[in-house]
Structure formats: structure tokens, C-alpha cells
Amino acid sequence: QKEVEQNSGPLSVPEGAIASLNCTYSDRVSQSFFWYRQYSGKSPELIMSIYSNGDKEDGRFTAQLNKASQYVSLLIRDSQPSDSATYLCAVRRNAGGTSYGKLTFGQGTILTVHP
């Protein structure tokens, strides 16, 4: 089982729809969760971080975390063509042990928003 697994893509949604991106993780002691957006040929850009169970909203983006189910998701409301990118889920154990707080990434989900 992969440490961090994202729903297989590519995902295609019409403009104005809600895009739902999902991620599961295997390490129960994970404490910090991040979503990055990566445009083709560019480096990843942090768009959301979440640390507690529940929802966190920032503009059109909502991150949802359920530690009991080891599940984190990203919802993009009113999707725009400019949201078309690869979305990377990342998970981190916090300081302690030998992990040095390193991130473990999923393989990414390609999202296409069509007009």
C-alpha cells in the first residue's frame, strides 16, 4: 500500500462545477496535511494546509480532514479553466523520531476544467 494515495485521474469537470479531489494516507501518526497545485512545467504551489479534523475554507477551496478514516480531500467550488493543473496531496508526521518533519507526496491528480 502506498503511503499517500490520491484518486486516479484525470478528472474533468465543466466550468462552474465542484471538483472533488481525494487522498488517503497510511501513517496514523500523521498530523499535518497539505494540498499543492502544480501547473505544467512549474513548481508546486501551496494552496491549503489543514491540521484538525473538519473543514477549512479559503475562498473557493475547502479542505476536509478525517483522521479516523485517514482521509483528506480538497473541494474546488465554481471551478475555472485556470484551475486546470495537477493537484498534489502531501502528509507530514510532525517533529519526533527521525522523520525531521519531511513531507510524503501522493502521485497527483490531473484536473481539467473545460469551458
Residues that bind other proteins (CB under 8 A): 4, 31-32, 34, 36, 42-46, 49, 51, 88, 90, 94-95, 98, 100-103, 105-108
- Whose CA is closest to 33, among 22, 49, 47? 49
Nearer to other proteins, 15 or 51 (CB): 51
Number of neighbours of residue 75 by Cβ within 10 angstroms: 17
Q: Report the nearest approach of other proteins to the CB of residue 100 (Å).
A: 5
Are the beta carbons of 55 and 6 closer than 8 angstroms? no
Cα-flanking dihedrals φ and ψ of residue 98, to 5°?
-110, 15
Nearer to other proteins, 65 or 106 (CB): 106
Q: Report the nearest approach of other proteins to the CB of residue 12 (Å).
A: 17
Are the beta carbons of 91 and 63 closer than 8 angstroms? no
Nearer to other proteins, 4 or 74 (CB): 4
